């Protein structure tokens, strides 16, 4: 333990603490922020190639179509999430149904499913792709609709979590107070509770929007299995799937196209972040007027009950059933024997996810502490906004950008390292966001009291703050880890490292659907075992100290 | 005509019974305060009247109509929360105007009402502020204005002044009383501050362990408490165990303390030999040349007078007051105490013991 003691000693010098923070910030900038947007700065040096693309009107219409699809999809999905997530969050927080606890865990499950597995499951459930004998509903044949259905599954849990988190913090007395003043339940909720949601809604909106905008693997599988990934007018793409499709075409210099699409995606995404923040924080729920009669009518038990049933049915039909449908595929005939390949991919996935998560924890904690403890200062706000940048950028574009940046520095042969860097970029914000929220909840006077009792700063951090935010830190780490495990786009765009999602995409590309189903289910199982095991470890740790 | 009436009201939370068989009547326009130890069910009681809680058993009547099953918003009972609960996203005008607004009044009417009530609590100049920009006391005032502005003729106040400093509290409590009396509003006001209860209420309800222990005007409860608990909880009192030895011809009762010393109390309600408890407030105990012998244990300055704490030879602790500008005895001095026999009261000695009778839980 002498190392920790040494750190304790070192930490009592404020200059050392500053140096450590500065180092964390520099690393944050050099490894995360700058490479993420580097692609934009590479436009001038690739200008002639890009000009060729710009004059290729067929290509341009595909590009614009893909970008339009990406943004409109993300918007629609997020709006649906808000509309259906709100009653669900309400039900989980405010009502005490007996099945509420199970529902709570079930809602989170799709988060543990890698999106490639979800994509496969969704297409089999809603569509009826050729070459698969599982009876699907066959209801959906439109790629746009299909992608919406897919994206709802993995964004919906984020939205419900986010909304129920806020709802838990809103004092129910506000609503009761409104009702003693004569407002019906409905009016009270509309005029008091919903407006108090605003800040949280912005976060939920950005999270879901970014997640939808970013998703590559699942979307690619869905589109590929619908036969929509042909590079002509009959094709259907989103920005990220277009990038991965183009990347897969061998023997052409596709760099200018990739740079163009990535830059467009990044610029629009950042604009979007800016606009969403500006609009949502100014948005007022416009109707001052209330309709007492109407409010009273919809405040009844029946309406509330119906709303709960609908919210539950939505979760069941549009989220849970399609997610778990993949297990049905195991019942079909087929052979799969490439377990060696699968295990290799698992090894690569765990290496990448583990390395990225460790990095996130080490360099994310000081930045999160700085942001949380210096709220309101310019520097902290700047850091806070910068942390969001890699979160909102579509990971495929991020991958292209990263590949370019490190390639410039001559590192392009170190594929594995670059993939880890890429995964750090988009997992880092997840961990930091979680941690900032948790640290802000802890009254700084605890640490100050520890210091007055003679603790060195690092000791105070270890013994006082860390135990209090431990669960959030671990939750953030688990989130980062699973997100990394499931990521397709960034990996694909950076280098030829065969992580499990890539492995599954390759199987699909080779039309080995049964193999894809088996590996997806195995990946799901691994994720579950991993998360479950971690939960046990966490609860043990919690019991010990 | 009674404004509010509770009949056999019971409220249970799981195994906890927060209200047991409460029967009470509040008259129209009456200002009633509810006193009682923490956790005795004060908040529960007014929440049942305003409809925030639905009683497990019994009926709540307002204006003679059974409103037990009427939802909060239709009861027309204003409520000021223990923790204020001003809507944080609305400025003061919108907060106060909320009641009229949800009753579908026009914008102009709403604003007019809001301004009227804000000016009643002298907060009109702050109407554009957000609640977070106000001090605790100002928030309290606005919360009261908001409850009044909804036009309710009945309001519940849950410790509305507890967050304020002593001086503001005193000013505000008279303001509130003046306001509600002017508007003819019936008020139920929960408080922990006895002086507040004494000075503003028409009637005091003393609660204990989920029941209504005693009700009466402030003067009645102070002068003539009907129970040892009321005497002990409201105001301060010395409780001395003794036994009746004689009923005098002048209409006094003579009692003997544990050490054999005797004293007299006006009135003859007990038989010779009855075990009793004598209650006498410190302000009715004086020193004399002769009386109950006691040794001074402590002398405490109470802000405007001295409190002398003594231990009598009977081992009873007896406190008395002397004015701030007189000389005080020192610790260990022997004093002789006499009681104002008209102000002292006798109660039957409880079988389960005196301490059991006055525990707060
Ligand atoms: N929602 C609830 N669930 C369970 N028990 C409750 C609930 N509300 C109140 N109680 C219990 O009922 C009893 C009375 O509570 P109440 O809030 O009415 O007390 P009070 O007299 O207002 O106390 P205080 O003076 O501290 O505000 C307490 O024992 C409390 O624990
Ligand atoms: Mg209370």
**Does the pLDDT of residue A343 top 70, yes or no?**
yes
pLDDT class for A461, splitting at 50, 70, 90? confident
pLDDT class for A539, splitting at 50, 70, 90? low
Provide the 3-class DSSP secondary structure of residue A409.
coil
Which 3-state string (H, E, C) describes B212-272? EEEEECHHHHHHCCCCHHHHHHCCCCEEEEEEEEEECCCCEEEEECCCCCEEEEECCCCCC
Whether B73 sits inside 8 A of A177 (CB atoms) is no
Inter-chain CB pairs, A–B, below 8 Å: 79
Distances (CA, A) of A518 to A500, A508, B135: 12, 12, 64
Alpha-carbon span A193 to A167, nearest angstrom: 8
Half-sphere exposure of B177 (CA within 13 A, CB side): 18
Q: Which amino acid residue places its CA nearest to atom 16 of ligand 1?
A: B41
Report the residue from A180, A195, A198 with minimal CB separation from B79.
A180
The whole-model pTM stands at 0.77
Distances (CA, A) of A249 to A13, A228, A242, A243, A535: 56, 16, 11, 10, 42
Average pLDDT over residues A48-53: 81
Give the pLDDT score at B47.
92
Based on its alpha-carbon atoms, the radius of gyration of chain B, rounded to whole angstroms, reads 24
Task: Give, rounded to a whole angstrom, the gap between the first and last alpha carbons of chain A.
Answer: 18
| Closest chain B residue to the Cα of A285, Cα to Cα | B89
- Ligand 1 within 6 A of CB of B87: no
**A508 contacts A244 by C-beta, under 8 angstroms:** no
Residues in A lying within 8 Å of B, measured between beta carbons: 171, 173-174, 176-185, 187-188, 191-192, 195-196, 198, 288-292, 295-296, 299
Q: Which two tokens stand for residue A329?
A: 């595929």
**Is some CB atom of chain A closer than 8 A to the CB atom of B196?**
no
Q: Which two tokens stand for residue A527?
A: 């994720």
Atom of ligand 1 at shortest range from CA of B53: 1
Whether A180 sits inside 8 A of B87 (CB atoms) is no
Other Cβ atoms less than 10 A from the Cβ of A228: the count is 18
**Is some CB atom of chain A closer than 8 A to the CB atom of B87?**
yes
Q: Residues of CATH 3.40.50.300 domain(s) within chain B?
A: 4-229
* Chain B CB contacts of A181 below 8 Å: 78, 98-99, 102, 146-147, 150
Name the pairing type of β-strands B317-323 and B211-216. unpaired
**Is some CB atom of chain A closer than 8 A to the CB atom of B88?**
yes
Boundaries of every domain in chain A = 1-41+336-545, 59-255+295-329
- Ligand 1 within 6 A of CB of B37: no
- Whole-number Å distance, alpha carbon B38 to ligand 2 midpoint, is 7
Alpha-carbon span A123 to A228, nearest angstrom: 13
Q: Residues of CATH 2.40.50.140 domain(s) within chain B?
A: 237-350
For the stretch A210-261, pLDDT in tens is: 889 888 888 888 888 887 777 777 778 888 888 888 887 766 677 888 888 8
Most B CBs within 10 A among A170, A172, A175, A182, hence the mutation to make, goes to A182
- Whole-number Å distance, alpha carbon B44 to ligand 1 midpoint, is 6
Alpha-carbon span A52 to A56, nearest angstrom: 6
Give the pLDDT score at A76.
94
Most A CBs within 10 A among B47, B67, B97, B98, hence the mutation to make, goes to B98
**Does the pLDDT of residue A131 top 70, yes or no?**
no
Report the sign of the C-alpha dihedral through residues A131, A136, A139, A145, in that order: negative
**A399 contacts A492 by C-beta, under 8 angstroms:** yes
For the stretch A74-118, pLDDT in tens is: 999 999 999 898 888 888 888 777 777 777 777 777 777 888 888
Contacts of A28 (CB under 8 A, 6+ apart): A363, A367, A383, A386, A387, A428
Q: Which amino acid residue places its CA nearest to atom 29 of ligand 1?
A: B39
> Considering only the top CATH level, what class is B4-229?
alpha beta
| Closest chain B residue to the Cα of A174, Cα to Cα | B85
**A113 contacts A486 by C-beta, under 8 angstroms:** yes
Alpha-carbon span A453 to A69, nearest angstrom: 59
Whether B102 sits inside 8 A of A290 (CB atoms) is yes
CB contacts under 8 A, B 41-80 vs A, are 50-52, 71-79
Report the mean per-residue pLDDT for chain B: 89
Whether B102 sits inside 8 A of A185 (CB atoms) is no
**Is some CB atom of chain A closer than 8 A to the CB atom of B349?**
no
State the smallest CA–CA distance between residue A288 and chain B in angstroms. 8
Q: Which ligand is nearest to the CA of B192?
A: 1
Whether B101 sits inside 8 A of A291 (CB atoms) is no
Atom of ligand 1 at shortest range from CA of B159: 27
> Considering only the top CATH level, what class is A59-255+295-329?
mainly alpha
Which 3-state string (H, E, C) describes chain B? CEEEEEEEEEEEECCEEEEEEEEEEEECCCEEEEECCCCCCHHHHHHHHHCCCCCCEEEEEECCEECCCCCHHHHCEEEEECCECCCCCCCHHHHHCHHHHHCCCCHHHHHHHHHHHHHHCCCHHHCCCCHHHCCHHHHHHHHHHHHHHCCCCEEEEECCCCCCCHHHHHHHHHHHHHHHHHHCCEEEEECCCHHHHHHHCCEEEEEECCEEEEEECHHHHHHCCCCHHHHHHCCCCEEEEEEEEEECCCCEEEEECCCCCEEEEECCCCCCCCEEEEEECHHHEEEECCCEEEEEEEEEECCCEEEEEEEECCCCEEEEEEECCCCCCCCCCEEEEEECCCCCEEEECCCCCHHHHHCCC
DSSP A134: S
- Ligand 1 within 6 A of CB of B24: no
Half-sphere exposure of B248 (CA within 13 A, CB side): 11
- Ligand 1 within 6 A of CB of B304: no
Distances (CA, A) of B196 to B35, B93, B149, B183, B349: 10, 29, 24, 21, 31
Alpha-carbon span A328 to A136, nearest angstrom: 10
DSSP A393: S
Torsion of CA B155, B159, B160, B162, to 10 degrees: 170
Report the mean per-residue pLDDT for chain A: 82
Whether A173 sits inside 8 A of B101 (CB atoms) is no
For the stretch A478-519, pLDDT in tens is: 888 888 888 888 888 887 788 888 888 888 888 888 888 888
For the stretch A267-322, pLDDT in tens is: 988 888 888 878 877 766 656 667 777 777 777 778 888 888 898 898 888 888 88
- Ligand 1 within 6 A of CB of B44: yes
Give the pLDDT score at A1.
58
Whether B78 sits inside 8 A of A181 (CB atoms) is yes
Alpha-carbon span B337 to A150, nearest angstrom: 88
For the stretch A469-489, pLDDT in tens is: 887 788 788 888 888 888 888
Reference B318, options B285, B348, B341, B289; nearest CA is B285
Q: Which ligand is nearest to the CA of B191?
A: 1
B171-180 core/surface letters (b: 16 or more CB in 10 A; e: else) = ebbeebbebb
For the stretch B156-209, pLDDT in tens is: 999 888 877 788 888 888 888 988 898 899 999 999 888 889 999 999 999 999
Give the pLDDT score at A51.
82
Whether B88 sits inside 8 A of A173 (CB atoms) is no
Can you tell me the ipTM of this complex?
0.78
For the stretch A385-418, pLDDT in tens is: 888 888 888 888 888 888 888 887 776 677 888 8
Alpha-carbon span B261 to B265, nearest angstrom: 14
Alpha-carbon span A374 to A372, nearest angstrom: 6
Give the pLDDT score at A31.
84
Fold of B237-350: OB fold (Dihydrolipoamide Acetyltransferase, E2P) (2.40.50)
Contacts of B18 (CB under 8 A, 6+ apart): B11, B12, B41, B44, B210
- Ligand 1 within 6 A of CB of B219: no
Other Cβ atoms less than 10 A from the Cβ of A58: the count is 10
**Does the pLDDT of residue A543 top 70, yes or no?**
no
Other Cβ atoms less than 10 A from the Cβ of B351: the count is 8
- Ligand 1 within 6 A of CB of B140: no
Alpha-carbon span A396 to A488, nearest angstrom: 8
Query: 């009201």: which residue's tokens?
Result: B9
| Closest chain A residue to the Cα of B96, Cα to Cα | A181
Give the pLDDT score at A439.
83
Report the residue from B85, B89, B104 with minimal CB separation from A177.
B85
Average pLDDT over residues A324-351: 81
**Is some CB atom of chain A closer than 8 A to the CB atom of B129?**
no
Other Cβ atoms less than 10 A from the Cβ of A544: the count is 6
* Chain A CB contacts of B102 below 8 Å: 178, 181-184, 187, 191, 290, 292, 295
Alpha-carbon span A282 to A197, nearest angstrom: 13
Q: Which residues of chain B have pLDDT under 70?
A: 1, 361
A52: left (phi over 0), alpha (psi -120 to 50) or beta: alpha
Name the pairing type of β-strands B154-158 and B77-80. parallel
Alpha-carbon span A347 to B173, nearest angstrom: 72
Give the pLDDT score at A545.
41
CATH classification of A1-41+336-545, choosing from 3.40.50.12780, 1.10.3720.10, 3.30.470.20, 1.20.210.10?
Answer: 1.10.3720.10
Whether B87 sits inside 8 A of A171 (CB atoms) is no
pLDDT class for A544, splitting at 50, 70, 90? very low
* Chain A CB contacts of B73 below 8 Å: 179-180, 182-185, 188, 296
Q: Do domains A1-41+336-545 and A59-255+295-329 have the same CATH topology?
A: yes
């Amino acid at each position: 333990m002498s190392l920790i003691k040494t750190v304790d000693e070192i930490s009592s010098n404020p200059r050392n603490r500053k140096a450590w923070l500065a180092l964390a910030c520099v690393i944050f900038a050099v490894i995360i922020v700058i490479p993420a947007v580097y692609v934009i700065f590479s436009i001038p040096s690739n200008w002639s190639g890009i000009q060729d693309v710009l004059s290729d009107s067929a290509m341009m219409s595909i590009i614009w179509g893909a970008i339009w699809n990406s943004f409109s999809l993300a918007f629609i999905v997020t709006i649906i999430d808000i509309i259906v997530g709100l009653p669900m969050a309400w039900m989980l927080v405010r009502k005490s149904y007996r099945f509420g606890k199970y529902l709570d865990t079930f809602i989170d499950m799709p988060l543990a499913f890698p999106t490639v597995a979800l994509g496969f499951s969704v297409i089999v459930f809603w569509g009826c792709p050729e070459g698969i004998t599982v009876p699907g509903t066959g209801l959906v044949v439109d790629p746009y609709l299909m992608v919406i259905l897919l994206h709802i599954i993995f964004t919906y849990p984020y939205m419900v979590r986010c909304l129920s988190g806020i709802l838990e913090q809103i004092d129910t007395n506000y609503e009761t107070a409104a009702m003693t003043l004569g407002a019906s339940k409905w009016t009270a909720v509309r005029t008091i509770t919903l407006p108090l949601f605003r800040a949280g809604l912005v976060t939920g909106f950005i999270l879901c929007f970014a997640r939808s905008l970013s998703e590559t693997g699942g979307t690619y599988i869905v589109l590929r299995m619908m036969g929509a990934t042909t590079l002509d007018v009959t094709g259907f793409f989103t920005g990220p799937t277009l990038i991965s499709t183009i990347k897969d075409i061998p023997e052409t210099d596709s760099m200018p196209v990739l740079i163009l699409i990535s830059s467009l995606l990044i610029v629009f995404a950042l604009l979007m972040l800016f606009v969403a923040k500006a609009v949502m924080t100014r948005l007022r729920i416009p109707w001052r007027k209330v309709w007492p009669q109407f409010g009273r009518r919809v405040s009844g038990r029946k309406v509330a009950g119906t709303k709960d049933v609908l919210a539950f049915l939505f979760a069941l039909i549009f989220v849970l059933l399609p997610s778990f449908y993949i297990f049905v595929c195991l019942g079909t005939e087929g052979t799969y024997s490439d377990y060696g390949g699968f295990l290799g991919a698992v090894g690569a996935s765990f290496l990448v996810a583990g390395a990225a998560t460790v990095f996130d924890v080490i360099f994310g904690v000081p930045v999160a502490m700085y942001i949380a403890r210096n709220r309101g200062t310019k520097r902290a706000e700047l850091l806070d906004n910068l942390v969001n940048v890699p979160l909102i950028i579509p990971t495929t574009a991020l991958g292209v950008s990263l590949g370019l940046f490190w390639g410039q520095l001559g590192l392009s042969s170190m594929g594995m390292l670059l993939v880890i860097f890429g995964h750090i970029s988009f997992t880092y914000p997840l961990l930091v966001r979680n941690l900032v929220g948790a640290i802000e909840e802890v009254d700084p006077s605890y640490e100050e009291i520890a210091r007055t009792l003679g603790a060195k700063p690092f000791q105070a951090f270890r013994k006082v703050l860390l135990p209090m935010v431990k669960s959030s830190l671990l939750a953030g780490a688990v989130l980062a880890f699973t997100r990394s495990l499931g990521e397709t786009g960034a990996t694909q765009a950076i280098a030829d490292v065969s992580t499990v999602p890539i492995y599954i995409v390759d199987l699909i590309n080779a039309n080995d659907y049964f193999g894809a189903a088996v590996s997806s289910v195995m990946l799901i199982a691994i994720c579950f075992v991993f998360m479950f095991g971690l939960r046990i470890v966490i609860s043990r740790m919690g019991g010990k100290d | 005509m009674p404004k509010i009436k509770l009949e056999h009201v019971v409220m249970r939370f799981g195994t906890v019974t927060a209200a047991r068989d409460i029967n009470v009547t509040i008259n129209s326009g009456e200002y009633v305060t509810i006193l009682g130890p923490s956790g005795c069910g004060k908040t529960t009681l007014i929440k049942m009247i305003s409809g925030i809680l639905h009683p497990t058993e019994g009926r709540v009547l307002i204006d003679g109509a059974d409103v037990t099953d009427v939802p909060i918003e239709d009861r027309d009972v204003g409520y000021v929360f223990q923790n204020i609960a001003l809507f944080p996203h609305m400025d003061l005008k919108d907060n106060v105007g909320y009641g009229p607004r949800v009753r579908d009044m026009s914008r102009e009417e709403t604003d007019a009402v809001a301004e009227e009530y804000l000016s009643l609590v002298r907060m009109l100049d702050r109407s554009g502020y957000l609640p977070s920009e106000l001090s605790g006391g100002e928030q309290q005032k606005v919360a009261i204005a908001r409850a009044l502005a909804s036009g309710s003729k009945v309001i519940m106040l849950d410790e509305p002044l507890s967050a304020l400093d002593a001086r503001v509290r005193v000013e505000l409590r008279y303001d509130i009383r003046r306001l509600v009396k002017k508007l003819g509003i019936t008020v139920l006001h929960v408080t922990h501050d006895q002086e507040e209860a004494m000075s503003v209420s028409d009637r005091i309800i003393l609660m204990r362990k989920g029941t209504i222990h005693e009700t009466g005007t402030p003067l009645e409860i102070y002068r003539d408490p009907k129970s040892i608990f009321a005497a002990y909880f409201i105001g301060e009192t010395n409780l001395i165990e003794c036994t009746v030895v004689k009923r005098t011809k002048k209409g006094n009762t003579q009692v003997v303390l544990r050490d054999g010393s005797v004293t007299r109390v006006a009135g003859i309600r007990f038989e010779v030999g009855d075990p009793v408890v004598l209650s006498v407030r410190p302000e009715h105990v004086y020193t004399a040349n002769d009386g109950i012998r006691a040794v001074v244990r402590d002398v405490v300055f109470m802000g405007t007078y001295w409190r002398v704490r003594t231990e009598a030879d009977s081992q009873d602790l007896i406190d008395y007051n002397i004015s701030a500008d007189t000389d005080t005895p020192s610790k260990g001095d022997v004093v002789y105490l006499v009681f104002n026999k008209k102000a002292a009261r006798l109660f039957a000695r409880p079988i389960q013991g005196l301490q059991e009778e006055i525990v707060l839980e």
